[in-house]
Amino acid sequence: METRWKFFVLEALKSLRGNFATTVAAVVTVLVVMFIAGIGIALGSYVYNYSNKVRDDVTIRAYLKDSATDKQIAEIQRTITETPGVQPDSLQFISKDDAILRLQEQLGKDSELLELTLGNPLPASFEFKAVDPDQTATVAKAVAGLPGLDPPRPGLPNPDYGAGKADRVLKTAGTITLVLLGMGVVLAIAAVLLIGNTIRLSIFARRREVEVMKLVGATNWFVRLPFMIEGMICGVAGAIGATILLAVSYQTLLADRVETAMAGSGSPNAIAFPLLVVLLILAGLGIGALGSGLTMRRFLQV
C-alpha cells in the first residue's frame, strides 16, 4: 500500500512538472481565492467576536432611590444574588460617588461641566449580568419593582439593560456575518469551478492518455488519484501563498494601526492567525481534490 501511494504521488509530481503552465495557473487561482477568503474569514471572525462581546457585555442596572434605606438595599442585593440566571461574580454596587467618578472619567477634559451641577444628581445602582445574555430580560424582570428602587419612568426603564440597543447591534452583526458567510460560500464554489476548469484543461490535453490508461485496464480510481493529488498539491501551494500574502500585507498595512487601536482596551480579536492558516490549507486541499475529482468524472467514461 505504501509503494502504491508513493507511485501516485510520484505520478502527480511528474505531471505537475510536465504541465508547468497549468500548474502555475491553478496555484495562482487558488492563491487569489484564498487571499480574498482569508480577508473574509478574518473580518467575519472579528465581527462575530465583536457582536459576542456586545452580547456578553449587556449589563443590567438597577437604580436606587436616594432615599433607599440600608435594609432595603441589602434586601435588593439578596434578591439579585438569589435570582436564578444571574452571574454571581458580576454583581457590583455603584455608589453615588462611584457613579460621578465614572462619569468624570468618561467625559475626560469635559468633566468641568460637572462642576456646573448642584451636588450629585446620579443615583446609586446595582450592576449585574445574566449568565445567558439571551435571558437578560427575564432576569431583569425578577428585580423590578422592589422597594427602594427608583420607579421606572417613560424612556427610563428601571432596571435598565439597554433593551433594543444591544438587539440592534446583534442584528447588524448577524447580518454582516451572514453576508460574509455567503461570500465565503460563493468564493468556495467559484474556486472549485475555477480549479476544475484549470484541471479540465490539463486533463483535456491528456485525454488520450487517460483513454490509453483505461484500455490497459486501469480502474477509474487509478487514473483519478494522481490527478486528485495534483489538485491537492496546487490547492495547498495556493493556500500557503495566500497566507504568506495575508501575513505580509497585515504586517505592512495594518499592524501598527490595529495595535494602537487595541492597546489595553480588551477589544475583541479576529481569528488567530495559525488557525486561519490551518483553515485555508485544509480548504485548499479540499478544493483541489474536489475540483479535480469532479472534473475527472466525464473523462473516465471510456
Binding positions for other proteins, rule: CB under 8 A: 3-4, 7, 14-15, 18, 208-209, 211-219, 222, 302
Nearer of residues 171 and 221 to other proteins, judged by Cβ: 221
Q: Are 166 and 54 in contact, with CB atoms under 8 Å apart? A: yes
Minimal distance, residue 211 CB to other proteins, in Å: 8
- Alpha-carbon distance of 238 to 27, in angstroms, equals 5
Q: Which regions of 52-183 does DSSP assign to beta strands (E)?
A: 60-63, 92-94, 125-128
Nearer of residues 22 and 51 to other proteins, judged by Cβ: 22
CA distances from 86 to 74, 83, 203, 211, 299 (A): 17, 6, 63, 70, 63
- Alpha-carbon distance of 60 to 139, in angstroms, equals 9
Nearer of residues 7 and 69 to other proteins, judged by Cβ: 7
Minimal distance, residue 3 CB to other proteins, in Å: 6
Nearer of residues 279 and 300 to other proteins, judged by Cβ: 300
Minimal distance, residue 235 CB to other proteins, in Å: 23
How many C-beta neighbours within 10 Å does residue 248 have?
A: 10
Pairing of β 60-63 and β 125-128: antiparallel
Minimal distance, residue 293 CB to other proteins, in Å: 17
Nearer of residues 10 and 74 to other proteins, judged by Cβ: 10
User: Cβ neighbours of residue 108 under 8 Å, at least 6 residues apart?
Assistant: none
Nearer of residues 118 and 216 to other proteins, judged by Cβ: 216
Chain position carrying cell 427608583: 150
Tell me how many degrees the CA angle 29-34-35 measures, rounded to the nearest 5. Answer: 100
Minimal distance, residue 222 CB to other proteins, in Å: 5
Minimal distance, residue 201 CB to other proteins, in Å: 16
Q: Are 3 and 218 in contact, with CB atoms under 8 Å apart? A: no
